[in-house]
Structure 1
Amino acid sequence: MSALPDPGATRAVLIGTSHYDHLERLPAVSNNLTALAAALAEPSSWGLPPEHCVTLSNPTSAEMTMAAVRAAAEQARDTVLIYFAGHGLVDPEGELYLAMPQSRQQRVETGLSYRWLRQALLTGRAERCVVVLDCCYSGLALGSMGGPVDLADQASVEGTFLLAAAAETRPALAPPGEPFTAFTGELLNTLQTGIPHGPELLEFGALYRHMRISLAAKGRPAPQARDRNTGAQLALGRNPAHLPATGSVPPADKNLASERSWPNPSGIRTVKGFFKALSDVRVTSGLTHQLVSQRSGGRVSAGTVSRLLNRESLPRAWQTTATYLSTCGVPDAQVAEWQAVWMRLLAQTAAEAAARPAVPRPSQEHNPTLMERWAGRLSRRNSRC
């Protein structure tokens, strides 16, 4: 089943090198990073908070870069995404390394070996890993017959997806005068415009197939991909070409409503993920806040819907959330699943609060009244007599 990750349990590290001392500069890479970070923060995509998406532009060392990658792989419980844009180089043994600002050809010690990235992800705790490489020869990361075992074969995780901008023997492309590299530009464009007649969610498998066709039609390098288990079903966002028009009415037929790709509550791990998925329900339904209120028969107002979707803490009562979900068209069986998740998160939040050490209250000094100050002065005066 396709799914968007829980933003509270997901991390991304976007790495890009645009300035080089010994290689051709790639100014479009800087634009790649800025635009992709903004796309990942969009509610229609992963909705990542800024602190969950680290951007490294022209990192000064491999050590600094790997520290960010390891931290993300350790912190993520749902999905970790690693993106690199820049020059891809091949070492004397035919393996890929990613170019840093001071990198040189055939000098792997001056760059970042892809094997280091792979190992950091293998030892992390995320259930799903995504690697996106927008560089020359990036297909080397996918492995080959008789070659090193790659991430997709080694990873002990639920799903893995590797997306490479070019085959192992082909360079990638940064078209002169264009704001983005060819591969990332196509990725961003697909996120913005969607895939006509495509699925409701932009799964990585569907993204790859669409980008391969569209880039080939433009005479540009064809991307490569490799996935394991459910990696291809992980979505990068909602398909704008498939979303119902805002203000449309969900079908009255329960069977038709159940066929929609409602956010799956089973993938929710955090409170932030709960509210992200709750907002996605309204987007999937095509209803405005006002229409939700009207269809509820006045049981919830438009203002109540807005407050519900913009909360940071879980509601203590379930009824309003249940009414909202049912009004949007979510099937009753899934509403029950949502309630189970709500109860689990309430218990989890309470347990975390109980586990936190109590903060000692600051001592309050006694402030003497005017009469007490005068009494003290008289006492001291009498003692001197």
Structure 2
Amino acid sequence: MSALPDPGATRAVLIGTSRYDHLEPLPAVSNNLAALAAAMAEPSCWGLPPDHCVTLSNPTTAEMTMAAVRSAAEQARDTVLVYFAGHGLVDPENDLYLAMPQSRSQQVETGLPYRWLRQALLTSRAERCVVLLDCCYSGRALGSMAGDPADLADQASVEGTFLLAAAAETRTALAPPGEPFTAFTGELLDILRRGIPHGPELLEFGALYRHMRINLAAKGRPAPQARDRNTGAQLALGRNSAYLPAAGSAPTTARDNPTAGRSWPSPSGIRTVEGFFKALSDVRVTSGLTHQMVSLRSGGRVSAGTVSRLLNRGNLPKTWQTTGAYLSVCGVPETQVAEWQAVWMRLLAETTVEAAAVRPSNSRPSQKRSSTLLERWAGRASRRNGRS
């Protein structure tokens, strides 16, 4: 079943090298990073908070890059994503390493061996890992990048992840002159913006890969490669903006219940409060209803302002009534509403326990200040009594 990850339990690291001391520059990579970071923050994509998506532009050392990757891998519980754009090089043993600004061809110590990234992701506690590689094995930029007969995806395979790689080919442009993005990332961003006509409701990585491969091949550009393990291909990068629900066979049913047959966001993957509210917002998007329409369908039980406040809260509501009414009005089946309530109860219990664990340490300073004030008042009263 396709799903968007919980943004509160997901981390992304976007790495790009556009300037090189010994290789030709790739100025489009800087645009790649900025545009992809903005896309990852969009509610229609993963909706990642700024501190959950780290961007490393022209990192000077492999140690700096690995520190960011390891931190993301340790913090993520749902999904961890690593993206790299720049020159991809091959060491004397035919292993892939990613070029840093000071990298030289055939000198792996000047770059970042891919196996280091792979190992960091394999030890992550995240349930899913995604790797996006916009690179090839060697060094010509802006016009073409040299290819290699080896399969890049096989070089970079990671168990339990989805890998999407741009495979460079001889005489084929990776960073076309005059275009703002590299061919691979530009196509990815275009699909996120325009969607896939007649495609699924969510942009699963499997569907994303197939559409990118068709489009890039039609343009005479390198065809991407993909590898997935387990259910990695079912993870979604965003909502399909071109999605149109199939017309129902019974018009009266569609008229009476316009949300019938929708693929509702599943609460089963929610791990954090942030993920709870992101999924609640996705419910409204899936329903196709505006805040005002939700209010009208509720018969006045839920106002448009209440819907807005519910979807923009930072903490969980203490009671279930409004949330349950909102889900039912949007058209979520009652069986799924019960699942939502179970998730709400779990998160509410967890946040209550966390707050109780923090409260004693926060109360000590105020208790100490209160004691100090009492001592001062007592001292002043004693001095006044002595003078009298």
TM-score by length of 1: 0.89
Distance 2:360 2:171 in 1: 59
Could you say which residue in structure 2 is the equivalent of 1:195? 196
Aligned 8 A contact 1:135 1:171 in 2: no
Trace 1:8-157 onto structure 2 (pairs within 5 A).
8-137=8-137, 140-143=151-154, 151-152=157-158, 155=159, 157=160
Trace 1:305-320 onto structure 2 (pairs within 5 A).
305-320=307-322
Could you say which residue in structure 1 is the equivalent of 2:249? none
Q: Deviations over 1:342-367 (max 9, x none)?
A: 11111111222233361213313438
Could you say which residue in structure 1 is the equivalent of 2:212? 211
The correspondence for 2:373, drawn from 366, 371, 382, is 366
Deviation at residue 231 of structure 1 after TM alignment: 0.3
SS of corresponding position for 1:237 = strand
Amino acid aligned to 2:295:
S
Distance 1:2 1:52 in 2: 22
Distance 1:82 1:118 in 2: 10
Aligned 8 A contact 1:45 1:238 in 2: yes
Q: Deviations over 1:32-63 (max 9, x none)?
A: 00100000000000000000000000001001
Deviation at residue 112 of structure 1 after TM alignment: 0.4
The correspondence for 2:306, drawn from 304, 307, 323, is 304
Q: Is 1:327 the equivalent of 2:312?
A: no
Aligned 8 A contact 1:4 1:235 in 2: yes
Could you say which residue in structure 1 is the equivalent of 2:242? 241
Amino acid aligned to 1:31:
N
Q: Deviations over 1:52-102 (max 9, x none)?
A: 000000001001100100110111000000000000011111111000000
Aligned 8 A contact 2:2 2:234 in 1: yes
Aligned 8 A contact 1:43 1:276 in 2: yes
Could you say which residue in structure 2 is the equivalent of 1:287? 289
The correspondence for 1:266, drawn from 253, 265, 268, is 268
Deviation at residue 142 of structure 1 after TM alignment: 2.0
Q: Is 1:165 the equivalent of 2:166?
A: yes
SS of corresponding position for 1:336 = helix
Task: Give the 3 Å change call, closer, same or farther, for CA 194–283 of structure 1 in structure 2.
Answer: same
Task: Give the 3 Å change call, closer, same or farther, for CA 378–174 of structure 1 in structure 2.
Answer: same
Amino acid aligned to 2:176:
P
Amino acid aligned to 2:237:
L
For structure 2, the residue ranges without an aligned partner over 5 or more in a row are 138-146, 246-252
Distance 1:91 1:83 in 2: 21
Amino acid aligned to 2:353:
A
Amino acid aligned to 2:80:
V
Amino acid aligned to 2:365:
R
Distance 1:328 1:165 in 2: 40
Could you say which residue in structure 2 is the equivalent of 1:247? none
Q: Deviations over 1:1-48 (max 9, x none)?
A: 000000000000000000000000011101100100000000000000
Could you say which residue in structure 2 is the equivalent of 1:185? 186
Aligned 8 A contact 1:136 1:172 in 2: no
Aligned 8 A contact 2:172 2:220 in 1: no
Q: Which moved more, 1:348-357 or 1:59-68?
A: 348-357
Task: Give the 3 Å change call, closer, same or farther, for CA 355–375 of structure 1 in structure 2.
Answer: closer
Distance 1:295 1:376 in 2: 71
Task: Give the 3 Å change call, closer, same or farther, for CA 345–366 of structure 1 in structure 2.
Answer: closer
Trace 1:343-382 onto structure 2 (pairs within 5 A).
343-356=345-358, 358-359=360-361, 360-362=364-366, 363-364=369-370, 365-366=372-373, 376=383, 379=386
For structure 1, the residue ranges without an aligned partner over 5 or more in a row are 245-249
Distance 2:381 2:273 in 1: 57
Distance 2:83 2:130 in 1: 8
How many residues are paired up?
365
Could you say which residue in structure 2 is the equivalent of 1:5? 5
Q: CA RMSD in A?
A: 2.5
